[in-house]
Structure formats: structure tokens, C-alpha cells
Amino acid sequence: MKLRTSPRTLPAVLLASTMLTGLAAPAFAQTALEEVVVTAQKRSENLQDVPISIQALGTEKLDELQVSDFADYVKFLPSVTIKSAGPGFSTVYMRGVASGENNNHSGPLPSVGVYLDEQPVTTITGPLDIHVYDIARVEVLAGPQGTLYGASSQAGTIRIITNKPSVAGFEAGYDLEVNHLSHGAYGGSAEGFVNQPLGDRAAVRLVGWAVHDGGYIDNVPASFTYPSGNITVNNGPFVEGNYNEVDTAGARAALKIDLNETWTVTPTLMGQRTQADGGFAVNPALGKFKTSRFRPEQSDDKWFQASLTVEGKISSLDLTYAGAYMKRWVDSESDYSDYSYFYDTLFGSGANLTDDGGNFIDTTQYIQAKDYYTKQSHELRLATPTDYRLHGVAGLFYQKQSHNIQQRYRVDWLATATEVPGWPDTLWLTKQVRTDRDYAAFVDGTFDVTDQLSVTGGVRFFKSHNSLEGFFGFGTGYSSGTGVAACFGPAIVEGGPCTNVDKSVKETGETYRVNAQYKIDEDKMVYATYSTGFRPGGINRRGTLPPYKSDFLKNLEAGWKTTWLNGMLRWNGAVYSEKWDDFQFSFLGANGLTEIRNAGKAKMRGVESDINWLVTEGLTLTGSAAYTKAELDEDYIPDPSAPPEALKGTSLPITPKFKANLVARYEWPIGEMDAHVQGALAYTGSNYPDLTIDDRAVVGKISSYTTVDLTTGLERGSWRVEAYVKNLFDEDGALNKFVQCTSSVCSRVYTIPIRPRTIGFRFGQSF
């Protein structure tokens, strides 16, 4: 399928034609905003009755905003920011609770929990990047959610809720898309679902998708010379235009069985594979969307999750069991030439790397990694009916996640004596297993003091047990004090030459919340909350460093949920003040090894608000914004004998002070067809990607940016057609900036850009 109209003029032509056609057309007869139902408190409730700062993007809104992946919906969530390294490798932050982690596999657990239905899907390198199709809604719960959601919901929780099988009747649909990227290639997708009842008490829902994202980054010719040996290398074999293509394919199968009038069983199996050719970092000094890489870069991310939800009643109590088992495999390759070049230029490191004949070689390093994750979670909870004056939920939770880590830092033709034993051409090897276990018991109850005033209290008691074992480092031919030379026993992780790390840490504690909710009338409610969240501690693999402790977040919040103009206007918001004590900070320490320390204190203050307004019949305005002031509350001094690495009052990284979006949508009939036109604006303020003074001096600041998206389409009966443009003005936004090694050595700055202008055309049918 080809678009005959010029890509630059297509959206404008469609937009103008549909608007002119609709000038004399009558509008739709919509007189109030639709009710939004969420399950943020583990029971179905009207969004306006939930005393939590929460945003919800439902099925229709996700479709209207052209959302297909994580980055697409984050730009419409002002309290949420991400630090990305490409598809499937994004770290999520909320309300400024960010220290600039380097995402090392032995580093801190995430501070934001991500759930797929009832099950957590967060891993060390980031949550699963689940393709968004046939999704009921995305719920975003800001602030500590440690009472109901536990360890990695310190700063908030994101819940991706899938559409469930229904016995109401047969339903099916499909969508086809073709798109083109400025500076890049063509892409497209095919998606579809079927809901089939199996009698009166059972139904199955099958969903599938295949997506091709065109590349837009060029790997351009370049060369450099290593001082040691005067060896010049070039990237000729790897030069390629639009080299960062991505292919994603996945499926979901869910079965719902009503055993009787009160008991339901829903098993679900879901899987996805994302294959990316090339990397997603560019070197702005070479031009827009240009980079120069000297070794292959790619990733192959595969995962599946089997889950089971059992719901029923015991007397008047609702019982829910939710369990899941997930596996994830990630194979990746990445260029590490900056490390090789800068260390050789500054310290002559290349002189220590030769072939078996003692001759100088091309010492360009590249990383071959294999990451294998398993994760299981189980939750059993009981809930009382919500019409009881005292109602609530109580439960037990267990989670175990394991990460088998293999990273080879390779140099071709490396001397045998310099290699890690058993691993040819491998200068450095990481062969470890990390295991994180969480146990918890929780209770959360609400007492209706009067018809207008309710008080809620909750507590979660937790126990964490985290361990790290295996090998990391050099062979004895390169280092006489680390790696193999530091081993104290035989290999306990299969494939490792020996063992030089075997540590674990256990902690217990509790997190809690107290909330008061007052209903001014049926349409207006205010609330106040004091809550805490936590993140478990863990292991420093360097033997001379102690484990790092849990860090805790304390939150004081006041908010409002209001509806006006006879249901045509909804305005919600919250103000908050948070304190983050002993927060975990990971950085590259001596010899480029990641270290994690408890860095001290920080504070976050802010306000967030969202509005939904049915201006007239057919015209809707929605918008949300957040102002966040997050900063150190004391100097960061990791070494008492050295000056502070960041001063009190330094802004925390990654989170902009201001982030906002506004969406306008107009719908109207044209004869037997329904038409729509939509504009969406999203602004992200400037921010630093790192915390310390030295890192900021080298890497600099990420500039603010604004994107504009336009959509127009027609629908008649079962079919629909739509044209869109994302990032209309081809804005140069960035999701991350970094250097490849410690900033005191590597000075070449890379950027992870947002996607360039994308023009697309969609066709779909529903049955």
C-alpha cells in the first residue's frame, strides 16, 4: 500500500477536507463525560471515588492517541519520565524520585512497579515493553503504593490491564497500518483479536500482533587510530543507512471459565519477541540521526508469561488468587570502542593487549551479552463488600526473580594468556546469578465515619532476601589482583572459571499509609494522605564494599476529585511533599566498576493536575500537567576525604520541572459516516541525565522539547480509516544522554533521540 499524496501534505489535506465537510454537520448527542472505572485499590471503583492521584487511559483513548508502546503513552503522563536505551530497555521514574542509576544488572531495583493485569513484570534492566493492543486501560498511580503493591512501587505504580474474555457474545477486529519516518524508512503493523464464547459459562480471547518499525539512524563511515601500536581502524563493514529497524511479534490467549455463580478461573498465556538491528544512540556531532559504530549492535528480546487468576466468594468475602510465572531471554551485542579508544589514549591500555605472538592488535572491545530472567509471583487476598461501613482488603504476597547474567567483553585475536580461562578472545567476563525474593503480608481498611467522611489505614510487613553469586573480572594474565586472581572457590555458576562473589542480604520492615477522604457532595471530593514506600537493599559485587541498604520514601499529599457542569467537566489534582532518605545511587567507581551507595537525603515537592472537558457536543479537551521540584537535601559525599560530588540543592536527574500535554478532539457525522479530527501537544522540560557535578560538566543538559501530533479519520459501520502524523514539526527531543564509560575518561556524548516525524495510515474493521 502506497500513499500517493506527498507525505508532507497528506495530513493537512485530510485535516482541511474533514473540517470543511463538517462545518454544517450536526454534532453528536453526548451530554456528559463517560464514567471511568479503575481497579487501583484492588476493587472496581469509579475513578472519581478513589482518593489517590491516578490517571487512566482507556481503550478508546489509547487508540485515539496512536499508542503502541511504552514511550507513546509516557509522553501523556506528566508525573512519569523514562530513561531509555532502546526498545525494552527503559527505566521508569515518577515524581522526581530518580538518582540517575546506570542500570547495571547488579544495581538497585526499580523505584516504579509495572504490572500486567495482577502480576508484576518489572526486571532489573526495565519493565517489559508490552505492545499496546486490545488493552482495556493503563492506570498510573502516583506516589508510594507500598501498602498494596510492595517493594518496587516506592514512587508509584503503572498497571496495564488487558481486555478479558467475555461470554456476552462473539467479537473480533483487526487493524492494518503503514507509516513512514522522516530521515528514515517505511514501517507497518498488523493486529487482530477474536473473542469467542464457549457456551454460557466460558469464553476465549485470542490476540496477535506483528509490527515493523523502520530505521532512522545512519551508521556513517569513520576511522580512528589507537596510539598503542599506531593501528588505524574503520567501520566500513558496518556502515548502513536506517540501521536501527525493529520487528515485534506477539500473542495473547486468555480463557475465562465461570465454574458457578460465584467462582471464576482465568488462565492467560502471553508472549512477545522484539528484534532490533542496530543501536538507538546518535552522535550529534556527526549530524542529525548519525552515529559511527565499529562493531555489530543488535538485541533479541523474548519473553512469555503464564498467569492464573481465581476469583470467588467465601461467605460474603471476595477471594482472589493471582499468580504468574515469567521467563525472559535477551541476547545483545554492542560496540564498546569508546572505552577502548579513550583508555588507550589517556593511559596506554592498548599496550597490554597483544596477540599470541606479542604483536599489537586492534583492541576495539565489543560486548556480547545473554540475560536470562525468571520471575514468579503469588498473591492471595480477601476483600469485604464495599457497602460495609468498615471495608477493606488483606492478603499475602510472595515474589522471586532470578537473573542469570553473562557478559563477554571481547577483543578479537587476544592473546590466550590474557583471556579469561575457557572464554576465547574475552578480556572481561561477568557470569553471575542474582536472586531477589520478597515476602509480604498486607491489610488496607476503610471506615466510613459519616456519609461524607471516610478514613483509611493500611500497613504492609515485608521481608526481602537478595543475593549475588558467581564471577566477574579479568583473567590472571591481565590482572593480578582482580577477577580470577580474586577467586576464593570453584565455580558455583555454570560456565564461570571460578567464584569471586557470593553475598546475600536480608531485611525486614513495614510500610504504611493513612488517608482521610471527604465528599463535599456527589461530584466533589477532597483527600489527604500520608504514605511510605520502600525499595530493598542489595549487594555490591566489589568485595571491599558493604551491601547497600533499603531506601524509604515518605509522602504527604492532598488532592481533589471534582466534576462540574452537570458531568461535562472533570478536574482532578494533587499537591505533595516527599522525603527520600538514604536513597540508593549507582555510579561507575574505580576501574569502571559499578558501585551502589546510600547517598543521603533528597526532597520532592510538586503539583499535578488533569482536566477532561466536553466543551460542546462533539468537542472534547483533555490535558494534564505536573510541576516537580526534586533536589538534594544535603551534600552528596561518598568519600569523606574528598569534596562533595553533588551539593545540597542540586536538582535530581531525569525529571523535568514541568511536563504537560493538551489534546483537542472533535467528532461529527457526515451522512452515514462518523468523522473526527484531533490535535495533541506534549511538552517535556529540560533536565540533567546525571546527578554529580563532574558528570554534568561533561554530559550536559537534555533540552526541553514539544511535540505535536495530528489525527483525522472516518468510520462507517464496521470499518474505519485514519491518517496521522506524529511529531509534526520533527522536533529534536531526547530520552537520554550519556558517555560510554566514566565521564573523567570518555568524553564523547551520545543521545537517545525521540522518533522523528512519522506519517501513517490505518485501516481497521470490527465485527
pLDDT tens for 178-229 read 999 999 999 999 999 999 999 999 999 999 999 999 999 999 999 999 999 8
Q: What are the phi and psi torsion angles at 103 (to 5°)?
A: 60, 25
Number of helices and strands in the chain (H, E): 6, 41
Q: Cell 544488572 maps to which residue? A: 105
Cα-to-chain-centroid distance, residue 281: 18
More confident residue, 107 or 665: 665
Say what the pLDDT of residue 661 is. Answer: 97
pLDDT at residue 105, as a whole number: 76
pLDDT at 639: 77
Task: Cite the beta strand spans of 32-155 per DSSP E.
Answer: 37-38, 45-46, 54-58, 80-84, 90-94, 112-116, 119-120, 122-123, 126-127, 135-142
Average pLDDT over every residue of 321-342:
95
Q: Between 686 and 44, where is the model more confident?
A: 686
Sign of the torsion formed by the C-alpha atoms of 741, 743, 747 and 753: positive
- Whole-model pTM: value is 0.91
What does residue 228 show for φ and ψ, rounded to 5 degrees?
-70, 115
> CA 206, CA 171: separation in Å to the nearest integer?
11
pLDDT, residue 743, reads 87
Dihedral pair phi/psi, residue 321, rounded to 5°: -115, 130
Strand 112-116 to 202-213 pairing: unpaired
What region, left, alpha or beta, does residue 718 occupy, with left being phi > 0 and alpha being psi -120 to 50 degrees? Answer: alpha
Residue 553's pLDDT is 94
Segment 215-230, tens digit of pLDDT: 999 999 999 999 998 9
- Check residue 20 and give its pLDDT: 35
Q: How confident is the model at residue 18 (pLDDT cuts 50, 70, 90)?
A: very low
Closest among 158, 159, 160, 142 to 533, alpha carbons compared: 142
Look at residue 705 and tell me whether its pLDDT is greater than 90. Answer: yes
- Hey, how many other C-beta atoms are within 10 angstroms of the C-beta on 689? 23
Nearest-5° Cα angle at 350, 470 to 407: 25
Q: What distance in Å separates the CA atoms of residue 38 and residue 50, rounded to the nearest whole number?
A: 9
Classify strands 290-291 and 218-219 as parallel, antiparallel or unpaired: parallel
pLDDT of residue 398: 96
pLDDT at 629: 97
Please report the pLDDT score of residue 543 as a whole number: 67
Q: Please report, for residues 221, 291, 583, 733, the alpha-carbon distance to residue 278 in angstroms, rounded to integers and kept in the order given.
A: 15, 10, 34, 20
Q: Phi, psi (5° rounding) for residue 297?
A: -135, 130
- Bridging pattern class, strands 112-116 and 156-162: parallel
Report pLDDT digits (tens) over 676-687.
999 999 999 999
Residue type, 556: L
Q: Read off the pLDDT of each residue in 78-84 and give the average, rounded to a whole number.
A: 91
Band (pLDDT 50/70/90 cuts) for residue 558 is very high
Q: By the 8 A CB rule, do 112 and 298 touch?
A: no
- The C-alpha cell 525474593 sits at 437
Question: Is the separation of the CB atoms in 453 and 446 below 8 Å?
Answer: no
CATH tag for 10-766 (out of 2.40.170.20, 3.40.50.720, 2.40.40.20, 2.30.30.100): 2.40.170.20
Phi and psi angles of residue 760, each rounded to the nearest 5 degrees, phi first: -140, 165
Give the separation between CA 184 and CA 756, rounded to whole angstroms.
Answer: 8
Question: What CA–CA distances, in Å, run from 363 to 38, 234, 413, 538, 602?
Answer: 55, 12, 9, 34, 42
Evaluate if residue 3 carries a pLDDT over 60.
no
Is residue 356 packed enough to be buried (19+ CB in 10 Å), middle (13-18) or exposed (0-12)? Answer: exposed
Q: How far is CA 514 from CA 53, 94, 310, 527, in A?
A: 15, 21, 29, 11
Q: What is the mean pLDDT of the chain?
A: 91
Give the model's pLDDT for residue 239. 96
User: How far is residue 153's CA from residue 440's CA, in Å, rounded to a whole number?
Assistant: 13
Give the torsion through C-alpha atoms of 226, 227, 230, 235, to 10 deg.
Answer: 10
- The answer to whether 686 touches 649, Cβ cutoff 8 Å, is no
Exposed, middle or buried, 60 (CB in 10 Å: 0-12/13-18/19+)? exposed
pLDDT confidence tier of residue 176, bands split at 50, 70 and 90? very high
Greater model confidence, 123 or 364: 364
Quick: pLDDT tens for 526-555.
999 999 998 888 888 876 788 888 889 999
Return d(Cα 584, Cα 605) in angstroms, integer.
Answer: 19
Number of neighbours of residue 714 by Cβ within 10 angstroms: 17
Whether the Cβ atoms of residue 142 and residue 608 lie closer than 8 Å to each other: yes
pLDDT at residue 29, rounded to an integer:
60
Residue 332, Cα to own-chain centre: how many angstroms? 19
**Residue 120 burial (C-beta neighbours within 10 Å; 0-12, 13-18, 19+):** buried
Provide mean pLDDT across the span 410-436: 96
In whole angstroms, what is the distance from residue 123 CA to residue 105 CA?
Answer: 10
Cα 614 to Cα 569: distance, rounded to the nearest angstrom = 6
Give the model's pLDDT for residue 584: 86
pLDDT tier at 281 (50, 70, 90 boundaries)?
A: very high
Q: What is the pLDDT of residue 592?
A: 63
DSSP-assigned letter for residue 745: T
Out of 93-107, 114-128, 713-727, 745-759, which region has the weakest mean confidence (pLDDT)? 93-107
* Contact by Cβ (8 Å): 411, 363: yes
Share of the chain above pLDDT 90, in %: 78
**Weakest mean pLDDT among 118-132, 401-415, 625-639:** 118-132
Q: Per-residue pLDDT averaged across 378-401, rounded?
A: 94
Of the candidates 704, 703, 702, 700, the one whose C-alpha atom is nearest the C-alpha of residue 743 is 700
DSSP state of 548: B
Burial string for 199-208 (b: 16+ CB within 10 Å, else e) reads eeebbebbbb
pLDDT of residue 101: 66
Query: Furthest-apart CA pair in the chain: how many Å?
Result: 86
Partners of 443 in beta bridges? 394, 459
117 sits in the region (left: phi over 0; alpha: psi -120 to 50; else beta) called left
pLDDT value at residue 122: 84
Rounded to 5°, the CA angle 747-752-758 comes to 150
Can you say whether the dihedral through the CA atoms of 45, 50, 52, 53 is positive or negative?
Answer: positive
Residues found in the chain: 767
Q: Which three cell numbers stand for residue 459?
A: 500497613
Which residues, 6+ apart, have CB-to-CB distance to 192 below 8 Å?
A: 172, 173, 174, 175, 207, 208, 209
pLDDT digits (tens, 9 = 90+) for 494-514: 999 999 999 999 999 999 999
Quick one: average pLDDT of 288-299?
Answer: 95
Domain spans in the chain, listed from the N-terminal domain onward: 10-766
Beta bridge partners of 61: none
Tally the C-alpha atoms within 13 A of residue 423's C-alpha that lie toward its C-beta.
27
* Mean pLDDT of the 571-584 span: 94
Contact 239, 359 (CB under 8 A): no
474: CB partners within 8 A, 6+ apart? 420, 427, 428, 482, 483, 484, 485
pLDDT tens digit sequence for 154-168: 999 999 999 999 999
Q: End-to-end CA distance of the chain, in Å?
A: 23
Contacts of 52 (CB under 8 A, 6+ apart): 40, 41, 141, 142, 143, 529, 559
Split at pLDDT 50, 70, 90, the class of 87 is: confident
Alpha carbon distance 304, 271 (integer Å): 4
Q: Are 657 and 628 in contact (CB under 8 A)?
A: yes
The answer to which of 123-127, 148-152, 589-593 has the lowest mean pLDDT is 589-593
Query: Do 125 and 270 contact (CB within 8 A), yes or no?
Result: no
**C-alpha–C-alpha distance, residues 415 and 396, integer Å:** 55
Please, which pLDDT band fits residue 15 given cuts at 50, 70 and 90?
very low
Residue 599 pLDDT > 60: yes
Confidence of residue 384 (pLDDT cuts 50, 70, 90): very high
**Three-state secondary structure along 593-639?**
CEEEEECCEEEEEEEEEEEEEEEECCEEEEEEEEEEEEEECCCECCC
